[in-house]
Amino acid sequence: MRHRRLALIDMGTNTFHLLIVELPEEKHHDTLVLLRTKVGVRLGEGGISKGEITPAAFARALHTLQAFQEEIELHQVTEVRATATSAVRVARNGPELVQAIFEQTGIKVDVIPGEREAELITKGVRQAVPLGPDKNLIVDIGGGSVECIIADEATIFWKQSFEIGAQRLLDMFFPDPSGIISASAVAAEQAHLSTVLAPLTAAIQHYQPVTLVGASGSFDSLADMQLGELRTEADLPPCTELEMSSFQHSYRQLLTNNHEQRKALPGILPMRADMLVVASILIDYVLGVSGITRIRTSSAALKEGLLAEMMQ
C-alpha cells in the first residue's frame, strides 16, 4: 500500500514554507517529517501598501512554487494543500498569481481570510506549545497581517486578524531602513498601533492572558538573538522560552543600530533585519498594554494547523 504523503504550503507575505510529511498507518504513531523548508520570497516588498504584487515579487513566487513542485514530485506526495494569506488576499493581481501558479505547477492555492488564518495558527501552535488551562495571547506577525488570538489548550476565546504586518509597518514608518529608526518614527508606530489594536487591548483587559506565545519568524529571530546563533528550520525545538531581559536587550540593539549593524548581529537573518525593528516595536507595545512578563515562541504555526486538521 502506498503511504499517504502530504505537502503543506504556506505562502506568507514575507516567507513561503513547505512541509512534507508521511502519515502513519496507525493513528497513535508519529507523523514522519520528510522535508521542512522555507524561502524568503518577499511577496509584499514594494507593492503591498499599494495593493499589488510587483513583477519581481510575482516572478520570485512562481520560481519558488516551481521548486516546491519539484520537491513534491521527488517525495511522491499524494495530497497537496497550499494557502496564501495577506499579500495575495489584498493584491489586485492576487487572482492572477493564483492562476499562474496553477497553470505552471498544477498546485491549487487557497486564499484564506484572516480569521481562518488565526484559527489555523492556533491549531498549529497547540501542536508545539503546551498551552495548558491558562489563557495565552498568541501573536503571529506576518509581513502583511498580524493575527492575535486569546486561547487555552481547548478553547479560542477571541481572535482577530489585523492588516498591519511588518512589511506594511516598514513602508509606513521606516521607508528608508538603512539608518537608525528615529524616536519620532517609533512614537508614530506606537500611536498607530494604539488606534488599530484597540480591539486587542479591550480583549486583553477582558480575558487577562498570562503568557505571550509568538508564532512567526520575528519571534524565531528574537530567540536566535538570545542564543547568539542562527538556527535552521530543522533545528528549532517545538517551544522556546524567550527571556524578558533578552527581548529588551535585543529591542534596544535593533533600535540603536543601522541596517548594516543590525544585519551583523548574531542570530539575525539578513532578510529580516529591518522588519524585526517594526515587529519588535509591536511586541513591546503588546507587552506594555498587557502587562505580560512571559514570552514563549512556537516553531509551529499555520501549516502545522492545516496538518492537524487533515489528520483529524
Q: How far apart are CA 62 and CA 16, in angstroms?
A: 11
User: What pLDDT score was predicted for residue 235?
Assistant: 84
Contact (CB, 8 A) for 297 and 222: yes
Check whether residue 23 and residue 60 sit in a common domain. yes
Check whether residue 137 and residue 220 sit in a common domain. yes
Residue 88 in domain: yes
CATH number at residue 99: 3.30.420.40
Residue 223 in domain: yes
Q: Does residue 246 register a pLDDT over 90?
A: yes
Check whether residue 200 and residue 298 sit in a common domain. yes
Q: How far apart are CA 66 and CA 297, in angstroms?
A: 31
What band does 22 get if pLDDT is binned at 50, 70 and 90? very high
Check whether residue 102 and residue 142 sit in a common domain. no
Check whether residue 136 and residue 78 sit in a common domain. no
Q: What is the tally of structural domains in the chain?
A: 2
What band does 1 get if pLDDT is binned at 50, 70 and 90? low
Q: How far apart are CA 184 and CA 204, in angstroms?
A: 27
Greater model confidence, 25 or 258: 258
Rounded to 5 degrees, φ, ψ at 147 are -100, 130
CA distances from 168 to 101, 162, 196, 265 (A): 25, 11, 13, 24
Contact (CB, 8 A) for 53 and 43: yes
Contact (CB, 8 A) for 27 and 71: no
Check whether residue 44 and residue 185 sit in a common domain. no
Q: How far apart are CA 152 and CA 138, in angstroms?
A: 10
Write down which residue in 112, 145, 177 finishes a domain: 112
Q: What is the pTM of this model?
A: 0.95
In the chain, how many H helices and how many E strands? 12, 11
What band does 165 get if pLDDT is binned at 50, 70 and 90? very high
Q: What letter would DSSP give residue 161? A: E
Check whether residue 163 and residue 284 sit in a common domain. yes
Helix (H/G/I), strand (E/B), else coil: 186: helix
**pLDDT by residue (tens digit) across 172-208?**
999 998 989 999 999 999 999 999 999 999 999 999 9
Q: Counting Cβ atoms within 10 Å, is residue 119 exposed (0-12), middle (13-18) or buried (19+)?
A: buried
Residue 123 in domain: no
Check whether residue 106 and residue 142 sit in a common domain. no
| DSSP output for 76-134 | T-SEEEEEE-HHHHH-TTHHHHHHHHHHHH-PPEEE--HHHHHHHHHHHHHHHS---SS
CATH number at residue 295: 3.30.420.150
What band does 73 get if pLDDT is binned at 50, 70 and 90? very high
The residues, ordered by sequence, that sit 6+ positions from 117 with a Cβ below 8 Å of its Cβ are 83, 85, 140, 145, 147, 161, 302
* Cell numbers found for residue 5: 504523503
3-state per-residue secondary structure call for 26-75: CCCCCCEEEEEEEEECCCCCCCHHHCCCCHHHHHHHHHHHHHHHHHHHHC
Residue 108 in domain: yes
Residue 242 belongs to domain spanning: 129-303
Residue 166 in domain: yes
Write down which residue in 112, 141, 170 finishes a domain: 112
Q: Which residue do the cell numbers 533600535 mark?
A: 255
Check whether residue 192 and residue 275 sit in a common domain. yes
Tell me the average pLDDT across 227-231.
Answer: 90
Check whether residue 46 and residue 15 sit in a common domain. yes
Check whether residue 103 and residue 48 sit in a common domain. yes
Residue 264 in domain: yes
Residue 199 in domain: yes
* Amino acid making up residue 196: V
Contact (CB, 8 A) for 121 and 160: no
Tell me the average pLDDT across 150-171.
Answer: 96
Write down which residue in 77, 112, 147 finishes a domain: 112
Tell me the average pLDDT across 40-50.
Answer: 93
Residue 274 in domain: yes
What band does 3 get if pLDDT is binned at 50, 70 and 90? confident
Check whether residue 146 and residue 288 sit in a common domain. yes
Q: How many CB atoms lie within 10 A of CB 202?
A: 11
